[in-house]
Amino acid sequence: MRRAGITIASVFGAGVVAAVIGVVVVVVIAVHSLTGAAKSVTAAPACPEVATQSIGGIVVPAGPVAGFCQDRLVNAAYVIEAAQALGIGPHTQAVGVMTAIGESSLVNLDHGDAAGPDSRGLFQQRDNGAWGTYEQRMDPYTAATMFYTKLVKTPGWKTMTPTQMAHAVQINSDPDHYAKFWPEAKAVVEGLTGQTVPDAAPQS
């Protein structure tokens, strides 16, 4: 009888454990399903349905392109247009867009931060005499032109990585700050211009 009792208890205990494990597995699957659903929702943000815009011949759609909607893509188009006017090719166009993403997420900010309270615009250019007037820093095309003008005067800029190029101009506390924005910048430039953006710096 004792042996039989132990056997019944053991079987009962094993059944409870199996039931608990089954519940845990179901909960884990449900959580993963919900998380996956949330990711699929946030991965492609819905953009307002607006007509395309043309910036210097660059057609800017409603979006999203690399997660950005038209209000920010227009600013990227100004950065690209400024580069094109200087004869700068797709790779370095993307460097400018990458820098603007890293500094402002392609928003033309009318404020700075704790590190630079006087910083303004897409590139967060400081009010130190080197970056022109407030109006120039707040104009995306002019701000981008000033960024590229300084970049092409930097010795050895053509041999630098994208984040090194950005840092050479911006002098960020972290030289690698911009690297994580490179894939987005490439996608934006390719999406707006139809050109392929190489990872290695060519002669422009």
Listed in sequence order, the residues at least 6 apart from 29 whose beta carbon sits closer than 8 Å to its beta carbon are none
Listed in sequence order, the residues at least 6 apart from 21 whose beta carbon sits closer than 8 Å to its beta carbon are none
pTM of the model: 0.77
Can you tell me the distance from the alpha carbon of 175 to that of 139, in angstroms, rounded to the nearest whole number? 25
Residue type, 133: T
Instruction: Grade residue 173 by pLDDT with cuts at 50, 70 and 90.
Output: confident
Residue 135 has pLDDT above 80, yes or no: yes
Lowest mean pLDDT among 2-16, 51-65, 126-140: 2-16
Lowest mean pLDDT among 11-15, 45-49, 105-109, 115-119: 11-15
Sign of CA dihedral 186, 53, 83, 46: negative
- Higher pLDDT: 144 or 42? It is 144
pLDDT of residue 128: 86
Residue type, 163: T
Contact by Cβ (8 Å): 150, 82: no
Residue 155 CB neighbour total at 10 angstroms = 7
- Higher pLDDT: 21 or 175? It is 175
Can you tell me the distance from the alpha carbon of 129 to that of 84, in angstroms, rounded to the nearest whole number? 26
Average pLDDT over residues 150-165: 96
Instruction: Grade residue 37 by pLDDT with cuts at 50, 70 and 90.
Output: very low
Instruction: Grade residue 39 by pLDDT with cuts at 50, 70 and 90.
Output: very low
Can you tell me the distance from the alpha carbon of 103 to that of 106, in angstroms, rounded to the nearest whole number? 8
The DSSP bridge partners found for residue 58 are 55
The DSSP bridge partners found for residue 60 are 53
pLDDT of residue 3: 45
CA torsion angle 111 115 121 127 (round to 10): 90
As given in the structure block, the two tokens for residue 204 are 């422009």
Q: Where are the alpha helices (DSSP H) in 44-161?
A: 70-85, 90-104, 134-137, 140-151
